[in-house]
Amino acid sequence: MIIKPVPCLKDNYAYLLLDPQANQAAVVDPVEPEKVKAALAEYPEYKLSAGRQELLTNQPFIYLLIYIYRILTTHHHWDHAGGNKKLLEQFPELTCYGGSNNVEGVNKIVGDKESFKVGQLEVIPLTTACHTMDHICYYVSDNGKNAVFTGDCIFSSGCGRFFEGTPQDMWESISKVAALPDSTHVYFGHEYTIANLKFAEHVEPENKEIQEKIAWAKRVGCTTPSTIQNEKLTNPFFRVQESSVQERVLGKDNKASPIEVLGKVRAMKDNF
């Protein structure tokens, strides 16, 4: 599979997901459809075969090309779902996946692990409530290469604000994503990495992985994708069971559940 980030708005990422075997395409959170279509134009072979070719019977040498894109929407916020209707107006045959009817343009609501295909790629939706209750992460694996599109649930070294859910909801969502293979590439919805890492360093000043990642992030600018393994090493919201994080949040020798610690780390970040 090929995954191509498409920077949108101020710091959002839409993504192209391409299956080279079937030459089929899907788009993730295409908030600015023109930018996503321009990115797709760099892969002309996908244009022709993303849908089906139909011979016009009265014009034997002219083919009508119907492009079938699929839209994978992570959640209902406008900066992710806000391009869906525009894209559907241009391509009414689109299948638009999402977690609830609150998602603009949704015509296929998916539940946990109700998998579907993009070409030959199996896409597995993971319900990951908290930032919004309809949040879906999409997991794709292809010949040992794995990827997950995490929207505003999980960022590089951070997580989304708890707008609709509780610390327990986010803990369940993080645990679900953390259970994916360590090598899984994590394609997140916003370029917040440096700000997230500054907070991560505040929580764990001694964490060498965080320090190295800050230097790397400053060098590369665009930090997508991360990996599950890297998140386990640098993301304070994944690390609420580590004694270093617990001590920072609770003080020395105090104990609390991962869910309580997660709530406290989120509150710290919201005021950082």
Structure tokens at 147: 């990827």
Report if residue 248 touches Zn ion, rule: CB under 5 A.
Answer: no
> What's the min distance (Å) between Cβ of 11 and Zn ion?
12
> What's the min distance (Å) between Cβ of 131 and Zn ion?
6
CA atoms within 13 A on the CB side of 253: 0
Q: Is 80 a catalytic residue?
A: yes
Give yes or no for a cis peptide into 60 (omega within 30° of 0). Answer: no
**# binding residues, Zn ion (CB under 5 A):** 2
Choices 46-54, 69-77, 202-210, 248-256; region in contact with Zn ion by CB under 5 A? 69-77
Dmax (CA) for the chain in angstroms is: 81
SS3 59: coil
Q: Is 182 a catalytic residue?
A: no
- Residue 28 β-bridge partners: 15, 72
Report if residue 77 touches Zn ion, rule: CB under 5 A.
Answer: yes
Instruction: From the candidates 29, 75, 135, 185, give the one annotated as an active-site residue.
Output: 75
Choices 16-24, 35-43, 146-154, 192-200; region in contact with Zn ion by CB under 5 A? 146-154
Structure tokens at 263: 């709530």
Report if residue 19 touches Zn ion, rule: CB under 5 A.
Answer: no
**Residue 32 or 152: which CB sits closer to Zn ion?**
152
Of 146, 147, 112, 108, nearest in space to 126 by CA: 112
* Options 152, 201, 204, 231; binder of Zn ion; rule CB under 5 A: 152
DSSP 186-238: EEESB--HHHHHHHHHHH-TT-HHHHHHHHHHHHHS----EEHHHHHHH-TTT
> What's the min distance (Å) between Cβ of 77 and Zn ion?
4
Q: Is 202 a catalytic residue?
A: no
Q: Is 135 a catalytic residue?
A: no
Q: Is 79 a catalytic residue?
A: yes
Binding site for Zn ion (CB under 5 A): 77, 152
Name the residues annotated as catalytic: 75, 77, 79-80, 131, 152, 190
